[in-house]
Amino acid sequence: MVGQEHMPTWLVWERFTRLANEVAAVKNERDVAHATEAKAREWERIPKRKAEKSKLALQIAEDNVYKYRLAIILSWTIVRVFYQT
């Protein structure tokens, strides 16, 4: 059996070329996987952001309702006190 050190140069070059092509293919697959993962993360973030915005809008609306209810109660109280005296 012939050792690798005695291989003809064309075989070495062929093996090198094949390995270089495999490395390029693996790097390409890795880049595609990273891009797909980033896109998936972005698609995951979009609903989270929308949910946070909706939650904040709901909280603001509830705060406004509380303020208006308090204002109505206070105005009724003031009117009752004013007309009873």
**pLDDT tens per residue across span 6-22:** 667 788 888 889 999 99
Total number of domains in the chain: 1
| Domain-embedded: residue 14 | yes
| Domain-embedded: residue 2 | no
Q: Report whether pLDDT(5) > 90.
A: no
Whole-number Å distance between alpha carbons of 23 and 77 = 80
Q: Which domain holds residue 14?
A: 7-84
pLDDT at 23: 94
| Domain-embedded: residue 44 | yes
Whole-number Å distance between alpha carbons of 84 and 21 = 94
Q: Looking at residues 59-66, what average pLDDT do you find? A: 97
pLDDT at 3: 54
| Domain-embedded: residue 38 | yes
Written as six digits, the tokens of 52 are 């946070």
What does the mean pLDDT of the chain come to?
A: 89
| Domain-embedded: residue 39 | yes
pLDDT at 1: 46
| Domain-embedded: residue 1 | no
